[in-house]
Amino acid sequence: MPRRKYKKVDRVVADPVYNDTVIGSTINRLLKKGKKSTAERIMYDALEAVEKRTHKPAREVFALAIKNIAPSVQVKSRRVGGATYQVPMEIQADRQQAMAISWLLDFARARKGSAMSVRLAEEIIDASENKGGAIKKKLDTHKMAEANKAFSHYRF
């Protein structure tokens, strides 16, 4: 086992239309069975729908949605003695972004209704207005961390 952490490799490529790495990583997370062109079409259609409905630049609305969803703390299980504690820990920025993208896509997929691009657009708009399932997940995560603040001295 190495004594140092591995060097972090930045592999996320910016998307071709907006030249944004967050949108590029969202497209990569949206992939199903390697169909990148389909994922790109879904994402760009969703961003167009966001722009039409909000009358604001889609990139700004999307960035605000990701910022609103991103959690700052999470709980991790830590076994001490015979007991397992939920220990609240701060999250690094890249992990915050990854969790925000994951939650956004999960709740967009869980929505009932029409095409994935429409569901994703609705979830992005809701998240930018601090509503929706992904925001609720963030608040639940923060509540869990707050409730287990007493175990923060077990941090590793």
On whether residue 147 sits in a domain, the answer given is yes
DSSP helix, strand, coil percent of the chain (3-state; round to 5): 60, 10, 30
pLDDT for 49-105, tens place per residue?
999 999 999 999 999 999 999 999 998 888 888 888 888 889 999 999 999 999 999
Number of structural domains (the chain) is: 1
Q: What is the pLDDT of residue 97?
A: 95
Please indicate, yes or no, whether the overall pTM of this predicted structure exceeds 0.95. Answer: no
pLDDT for 16-30, tens place per residue?
899 999 999 999 999
Q: What is the pLDDT of residue 1?
A: 59
On whether residue 4 sits in a domain, the answer given is no
Q: What is the pLDDT of residue 2?
A: 66
CATH number at residue 86: 1.10.455.10
pLDDT for 86-99, tens place per residue?
888 899 999 999 99
On whether residue 16 sits in a domain, the answer given is no
pLDDT for 103-136, tens place per residue?
999 999 999 988 999 999 999 999 999 999 999 9
The domain of 96 spans 21-154
